[in-house]
Amino acid sequence: MPLRRTRHLCVLAAALALTLTAPASVASAAGSAPGSPAALREVLFVGNNWDGTADVLASAGDLAKIGRIDVVPDKAERMAEINADPIRWIYFMAIRSGVGEGHDQLVDDMYSTPDGTSVVVSRPSFADVVSLDLATGAVNWRFPVSGYRSDHMAVSPDGRRVAVSASTSNRVHVLDIGTGRELGSFATGDKPHENIFSADGRHIWNMSIGEVNTALDATWLDWTKGDRRITVVDATTFEQVQVVDMRERLDAIGLKDHSDAVRPAAFSPDESKLYFQVSFFNGFFEYDVTTDRITRTKTLPKNPATSSDRTTWVNDSRHHGITMKPDGTKLCVAGTMDDYATVVDRTTLREGPLVTVSKPYWATVSGDGRSCVVSESGADRVTAIDFATGAKTVSVPVGDHPQRVRLGHVRADWTGTPGSRP
């Protein structure tokens, strides 16, 4: 029997604001003296994947830049290790030439610790997760994942645990966010990707996307992509609770030609519905968790300028990035290969204006819940889109190839890590 969800993925961002602090922490942050333990500032972390940096922006409004983090302060040491190991070097170069589009993947995902003193980052090319001290820029701890590449992460609602996909070993590691100690791990389908904690912290959902780096992209070759499924586990015992194979659900509604590789996803506020994207598709699906079936399909417009050659779509993406307004009324979708983002009414599934953006790779809700923030990896900036009007409100330049954008916290007087590149 499928799990009954209770709240929406976007609550994770708000939960991070409340972890290990009193409910009045936001007001306390505004009123406390800078530098005091309670003086925290909500921010957006923007991971500049090819640059090896993370820009830190105001979480709402003008998205003003606050500071920058060097996420690879140990780069020389890591490269020495890779160059000394022929197998690791082969994988490192394969990541560069494949998923990295000719670049090293130096930051995929990031979350701050509840006290705002550190940020935890997954670094695909280095196959690890590190905790970086925001005051000094030093590495607090480092966890090498199994295999040769780390990927998407998720933080638990209490802020104490972080889950990271090890994409070449088909495993997710769950770590203590303060110490880096492994609390457990679990097996997934091929190439684990997105991770989502349930809002009560009891379960972890993992989406495996299969092999996305081959040119075997024709519909009839879909079987070559591997075992793609959603794996749901108990977040304490790491025992498997449920497996959802979207192949069966897509076939049931006559969509046998659609990929079953679930990409980014977002839960409704009560977590009864999951909205998800799949490889090669310009749109998304609504999945009813209780009845275990796909209930609605939304096809979004194609950009006439986008090539119809699926082998030219980066890592099998067509659209990659979806988030939901906290009240559950609107979705925001990143049309990655179609160079737009749009707000979609959840009741009618009618899209709003197609906002021109360059290769948007992620969508996140702003701190005040009023805007969708997308990363423009093709233009090295992030852009906010108003949920109410569907119009762009602001764009801010960031580093090279921004991808993941996450809400978090820093100390109120923080302005960047020492020595971080401008």
Predicted model pTM? 0.89
Share of the chain above pLDDT 90, in %: 86
Give 376's contacts (C-beta < 8 A, 6+ positions apart): 357, 358, 359, 360, 361, 382, 383, 395, 402
pLDDT tens digit string along 110-142?
A: 999 999 999 999 999 999 999 999 999 999 999
Q: What is the pLDDT of residue 112?
A: 98
Whether 283 has a pLDDT exceeding 70, the answer reads yes
Domain boundaries, the chain: 11-274+281-296+401-411
β-pairing, 203-208 with 392-397? unpaired
Sequence-ordered list of residues with C-beta below 8 angstroms from that of 398, at least 6 positions apart, any chain:
46, 48, 55, 57, 65, 375, 380, 381, 382
Architecture of domain 11-274+281-296+401-411: Beta Barrel (2.40)
At 417 the pLDDT is 86
Q: Give the separation between CA 410 and CA 65, rounded to whole angstroms.
A: 13
pLDDT band at 422 (very low <50, low <70, confident <90, very high): low
Q: Per residue in 310-338, pLDDT tens?
A: 999 999 999 999 999 999 999 999 999 99
Query: Which of 11-15, 83-87, 176-180, 401-405 is predicted with the least confidence, judged by mean pLDDT?
Result: 11-15
Residue 354 scores a pLDDT above 60:
yes
Does the pLDDT value for residue 18 go beyond 50? no
pLDDT in the model for residue 421: 62
Cβ 184 vs Cβ 235: under 8 Å: no
189-198, 370-379, 389-398, 412-421: segment of lowest average pLDDT: 412-421
- What pLDDT, in 10s, does the model give residues 142-186? 999 999 999 999 999 999 999 999 999 999 999 999 999 999 999
Could you give the angle at the alpha carbon of 405 between the alpha carbons of 403 and 407, nearest 5°?
A: 170
Q: Where residue 256 falls among pLDDT bands split at 50, 70, 90?
A: very high
